[in-house]
Amino acid sequence: MRSRLAVLTLAALTALALTLTATGGASAANTKRVVALTPFTANALASLGVVPIARGDMPGSNDRYVAKVQNIKKLPLSHPNGPNMESLAVLNPSLVLSSPQWNKGNKTMRQLGMKVVLSDPQTVDDVPKQTKVIGKLVGKTKLGIDRAAVQAKNIAAARRAVKRNPTVLLILGVGHTPYAFLRNSWGGDVITQAGGKLITGGLSNSGGFARISNEFVVEKNPDVIIAVPHGTTNAADRKELAKYLGDNPAWKTTKAVQNHRLFVSKDNALLQASPLAATVIGDVQAQYLKNR
């Protein structure tokens, strides 16, 4: 019954998408109606002078969007599909800039006849590359190349500022089962580019995160611990979360806790890619690593 309902729903959405495309006429074909599901893609578009018709909306992400796209239509995102397909189809986008985390939804979008491009960097070096890709997609090829050149120059300058290389444990979540950021995650790469020696203990996972134990933390004894909470937090929340981690009997023995180098991040800069990657690196160096 469920599979039949899913087929009927997809058929209805496909019909809606085809109807909207047909009624849009020539103007719809010539005008880029772009939906950006991630902060990176929305902000990259804004830097190229293109304002998307809608953007993704997830808890803790709103402060990652620049002013130009703060007040445009928001599409709530939920795993594993991303946006509500009916709401998306009504917008009749000519292009959806998405990310691998919405793989199931991306497949459905394509079945609805939408052009979907995955353009969310997983590494710092991918930021200039994806900026050029987006520029080409929206008819701003030269501006995209110029913006990418500036990004690459600023990233290189941020790397040169490194004076020390502290060991860093970057964790996602602050509950009883924290997960370590690995080198193949955005945050893990930012820490590395900022001059931190990311502690992973040889752990690997295609998703970029791996569960860790208290014994792991004690054994690795990091100079710095940075926790990235889920969703938005205020100053009081962050203070309480830092106390919770610091009071862990096992973690108390680490250099990070003993030297007051345990931090709780205030935003999602280590979770979500940004066109201003050099600024994120600089903030990490100044606020957490103290190595500039």
pLDDT in tens, 19-61: 444 444 333 333 479 999 999 999 999 999 999 999 998 766 6
Question: Within this chain, do residues 11 and 94 fall inside the same structural domain, yes or no?
Answer: yes
Question: Within this chain, do residues 52 and 107 fall inside the same structural domain, yes or no?
Answer: yes
Q: Note down the domain range covering 177.
A: 164-289
Average pLDDT over residues 5-9: 42
Question: Within this chain, do residues 107 and 169 fall inside the same structural domain, yes or no?
Answer: no
Question: Within this chain, do residues 105 and 194 fall inside the same structural domain, yes or no?
Answer: no
Question: What pLDDT score was predicted for residue 240?
Answer: 85
Model confidence at 16, pLDDT cuts 50, 70, 90, reads: very low
* DSSP single-letter state for residue 180: E
User: Is 203 inside a domain boundary?
Assistant: yes
pLDDT single digits (tens) 170-212: 998 766 678 999 999 999 999 999 999 999 988 888 889 999 9
* Domain count across the chain: 2
Strand partners, 181: 209
List the CATH number of the domain containing 112: 3.40.50.1980
pTM of the model: 0.85
Coil/strand/helix, residue 91: helix
Q: Which residues contact 178 (CB under 8 A, 6 or more apart)?
A: 171, 172, 211, 212, 227
Q: Which of 154, 107, 157 is nearest to 128 (CA)?
A: 154
Average pLDDT over residues 3-17: 44
Question: What pLDDT score was predicted for residue 181?
Answer: 95
Question: Within this chain, do residues 17 and 110 fall inside the same structural domain, yes or no?
Answer: yes
Give the end of a domain, one of 91, 120, 149. Answer: 120
Distance CA(3)–CA(68), nearest Å, equals 41
Distance CA(136)–CA(145), nearest Å, equals 9
pLDDT single digits (tens) 68-104: 999 999 999 988 889 999 999 999 999 999 998 888 8
Strand order in the sheet with 116-118: 73-76, 54-57, 34-36, 95-98, 116-118
Model confidence at 224, pLDDT cuts 50, 70, 90, reads: very high
